[in-house]
Amino acid sequence: MEETRSGIPLLGEKFPSMEVQTTHGMMKLPDDMKGKWFVLFSHPADFTPVCTTEFIAFAKRSDQFKKLNAELIGLSIDQIFSHIKWIEWINEKVGVKIPFPVIADDMGKVGSKLGMIHPSKGTNTVRAVFIVDPEGIIRLMIYYPQEVGRQIDEILRALKALQISDKNKVAMPENWPNNELIGDKVIIPPPKDVTGAEERLKVKDGYDWWFTYKSLDK
């Protein structure tokens, strides 16, 4: 019998199958996103200042996510009517349209399944971020407390890094593409035997056989 587990899922696991009500209608995840990346992010509550700043930042970068074949999906434990009114408020007061769907998890089922519920904050969700690949596999998770707003450019950077890593079979250094040590270069996986280690620095740039790097165009 397959073991079932609740709480925060693990990286590399399939995103849990679910049907959700959103501001764009019903959705089945991850099925409706097959062939695309998607970024699911939760916020504690509608009509709150920090969440409003985050939604505006996500909305302003939505085209950049789309260029990476990625869709944005918001979520909180609020009713669909609250989501709709809040989205209207943002458009009316700030002049920013929210182009992505927002899940109404008013029963808390999605938040519980994904480990988003903050035990010391009632039923509010934490500021969670899930990046899911076109096969429905969870590739990245970030959890912030309610008091700290997210840096949306970092989520965009992480998505780009994952895609380039997958395509080129390389690892990405700290703060890529602006790493303090090797700039925009990427790290080559270390060799798996003695012969490979002895040959590595003869043909690759690096500091040692286990730390070599290259430009993406090489």
**Whole-number Å distance between alpha carbons of 87 and 102:** 9
Q: What are phi and psi of 101, to 5 degrees?
A: -70, 150
SS (H, E, C) 28-67: EECHHHCCCEEEEEECCCCCCHHHHHHHHHHHHCHHHHHH
**Whole-number Å distance between alpha carbons of 62 and 50:** 18
Q: Where are the domains of the chain?
A: 18-150, 169-218
**Whole-number Å distance between alpha carbons of 130 and 29:** 12
Fold of 169-218: Antioxidant, Horf6; Chain A, domain 2 (3.30.1020)
**Whole-number Å distance between alpha carbons of 75 and 102:** 5
Mean pLDDT is highest, among 4-8, 40-44, 96-100, 120-124, for 96-100
What is the distance of C-alpha 195 from the center of its chain? 39
152 compared with 119, residue with greater pLDDT:
152
CA-based nearest residue to 10, from 114, 105, 158: 114
Could you tell me the pTM of the whole model? 0.91
208 confidence band (pLDDT: 50, 70, 90): very high
| Domain range 18-150, CATH architecture | 3-Layer(aba) Sandwich (3.40)
The answer to which of 47-51, 96-100, 119-123, 139-143 has the lowest mean pLDDT is 119-123
Q: What is the pLDDT of residues 39-98, one digit of tens each?
A: 999 999 999 999 999 999 999 999 999 999 999 999 988 999 999 999 999 999 999 999
User: Which residues in 110-148 are b (16+ Cβ under 10 Å) and which e?
Assistant: bbbbbebbbeeeeebbbbbbbbbbeebebbbbeebebee
Q: What is the pLDDT of residues 145-204, one digit of tens each?
A: 888 999 999 999 999 999 999 999 999 999 999 999 999 999 999 999 999 998 988 888
Sign of the CA dihedral with 167 first, then 170, 172, and 176 last? negative
Q: Which H helix or E strand runs over 133?
A: none
| Token output for 86 | 């809040």
Can you give the pLDDT at residue 4?
Answer: 46
Options 51, 72, 126, 158, the catalytic residue: 51
- Mark whether 66 is an active-site residue: no
Say if residue 1's pLDDT is above 80.
Answer: no
Q: How many Å from the N-terminal Cα to the C-terminal Cα in the chain? A: 48
Say if residue 119's pLDDT is above 70.
Answer: no
**Whole-number Å distance between alpha carbons of 79 and 2:** 34
